[in-house]
Structure 1
Amino acid sequence: MSQHTPPGHMAPHIPADLYQQAQATGQPVVYVVTPTPPGIPWRRIVVPFAIAGAVVAGGWGLVAAICFLLDAAAHTFTVIAGAAGPIGLGGITLRLARSKNT
């Protein structure tokens, strides 16, 4: 009886005793190989671009939110400064906002 080693990576799922029995009796061993589709799997490419796009959109959203908050703070400051009028301390007067007349 000739001792053949089972093929390396082609059929690791065949138990050794069944392979040896098939070799001893002369039964054919059939390998079923599912072919991989040609080309690049799209999921491997799309997922990183989707993550990068979400990061970019989130960054622009953060910038827009900061601009909105700074604009609201500036308007609030001008309203409060206009309502408060000039602020004086020890003879030095500071006008925070100009009135419409001057």
Structure 2
Amino acid sequence: MHATGPPDSMAPHIPADDYRRAQATGQPIVIIRTATAPAPRRPARAYLLPIAVAGAAAIGLLGVVAAFLALLDAAAHTAIAIGGAAGPLGIGGITFKLTRPKAK
């Protein structure tokens, strides 16, 4: 009898010597397949910290934008008040009117 390789349906991790010895002696080959456990899932608590940090960063960014807009509003009101009190501004013979003239 000539030696042949294991059939395709045989598991590839069976050594050839064991396969040939079992074939020659008629011994059965026992294949034990262990069930692999599914990958462990992350608990919901693990997602809480990143979501809390992202939420705090978003609220903080909204606060910074609101503060910047309030600062621009205050600066615009200040410039209007100074321009109204100072009247026309003249530099080197050129006069700038900072505000519109009042009703005549």
The residue number in structure 2 matching 1:79 is 81
Gaps of 5+ in 1: 1-37
Pairs aligned (count): 65
Q: How far did 1:53 drift?
A: 0.4
- d(CA) in 1 for partners of 2:102, 2:45: 62
SS of the counterpart of 1:76?
helix
- Does residue 90 (structure 1) correspond to residue 92 (structure 2)? The answer is yes
Give the letter for the 2:61 counterpart: G
Q: How far did 1:90 drift?
A: 2.5
Q: 1:68 aligns with which of 61, 67, 70?
A: 70
- d(CA) in 2 for partners of 1:42, 1:100: 65
Deviations 1:57-101 (A, max 9, x none): 000100000000000000000000000000112221001111332
Higher normalized contact order (CA 8 Å, seq sep 6+, divided by chain length) = 1
Q: Is the 8 A contact 1:82 1:99 kept in 2?
A: no
Following superposition of structure 1 onto structure 2, how do residues 1-102 of structure 1 map, counting pairs within 5 Å?
Answer: 40-101=42-103
Larger radius of gyration: 2
Gaps of 5+ in 2: 1-39
SS of the counterpart of 1:100?
coil
TM-score normalized with structure 1 length: 0.58
Percent identity, aligned pairs only, is 54
TM-score normalized with structure 2 length: 0.57
RMSD: 1.7
Q: Where has structure 1 moved over 2 Å in runs of 4 or more?
A: none
